[in-house]
Amino acid sequence: MEQDHRDKIILLLTIPLVIFTAIASYVGIFIENTYLKETVNYAAQGIGQDIVNLFVIVPVLLISSVFAYRENRFGLFLWSGTLFYMVYSYAIYCFALHFNNLFLVYCLIFGLSFYSLLYFFGKSMKENISEWFSENVPIKSISLFLFIIAGVFYFLWLSEIIPALINQKIPLSIIENGLLTNPVHVLDIAICLPALIITGVLLLKKNAIGYLLVPMMLIFCILMSIAIVAMVFVMKMKGLTTDLFLTGIFGVISLVSITFLVNYMRKLK
């Protein structure tokens, strides 16, 4: 009898995650008082991210989990990258929004995403992921791209933070969004940008963990770029900004990330 290579735990984790994410996103978009306590600027960003979560993340998460359940390697990578985006995004929902009716839903999404990601690592670390790929993976170009992304965003965030510290002022982004600190600064400086650098270094060394993390980092860059573009467009529609320069930058990041991801996945055995 053939062994059934299917992982039911992936579906058990993902189905409730998809349901809760769809509910939170729908309410955020269509129930007007969801972000009533937020500044107009921050509320618009929340709606923009909810749009992406409902119409992009939910389908991608569901489809990738079905393939991952069937032990499809690309599906497993796509699932992990989407989960990383979810952990990042819902950490912000949990810690940087005023308490509202969706608080417990945000916590459930954050927890399910976090433990699903842990499950992915536990499952994948049992194998030598580098053996999944052929020899001619574009290691140097992908590593360089990850280093550049990390360097650019360190420069952007520190160019806002350091002058504020020197002048003993609060950064404008914090004031506009009515926050105590900027959660994006925290997560990027402490976790995400170091993760990009570490992934690049490990890939250059042909370390198995580097091969494991590359798709996750590229998928995260793609999804986050799409979310930021949506936020800017919602703000534009509400008359809060006329500068669409950011959409161009993140559009380029998304396209380059997609290109590298496709080339990387083509080397998958």
Per-residue three-class SS string for the chain:
CCCCCCCHHHHHHHHHHHHHHHHHHHHHHHCHHHHCCCCHHHHHHHHHHHHHHHHHHHHHHHHHHHHHHCCCHHHHHHHHHHHHHHHHHHHHHHHHCCCCCCHHHHHHHHHHHHHHHHHHHHHHCCCCHHHHECCCCCHHHHHHHHHHHHHHHHHHHHHHHHHHHHCCCCCHHHHHHCCCCCHHHHHHHHHHHHHHHHHHHHHHCCCHHHHHHHHHHHHHHHHHHHHHHHHHHHHHHCCCCCCCHHHHHHHHHHHHHHHHHHHHHHCEC
Share of the chain above pLDDT 90, in %: 81
pLDDT band at 149 (very low <50, low <70, confident <90, very high): very high
Is the pLDDT at 18 greater than 90, yes or no?
yes
Residue 184 lies in a domain: yes
Show the tokens assigned to 104.
Answer: 């417990």
**Mean pLDDT over residues 70-93, rounded?**
96
**Mean pLDDT over residues 191-209, rounded?**
96
Residue 39: the pLDDT is 93
Residue 1 lies in a domain: no
Residue 242: the pLDDT is 59
Residue 177 lies in a domain: yes
Residue 232 lies in a domain: yes
**Mean pLDDT over residues 162-182, rounded?**
92
Residue 180 lies in a domain: yes
Is the pLDDT at 131 greater than 90, yes or no?
no
Residue 4: the pLDDT is 53
Residue 240: the pLDDT is 83
Residue 82 lies in a domain: yes
Q: How many structural domains comprise the chain? A: 1
Residue 3 lies in a domain: no
Instruction: Note down the domain range covering 159.
Output: 8-266
Residue 243 lies in a domain: yes
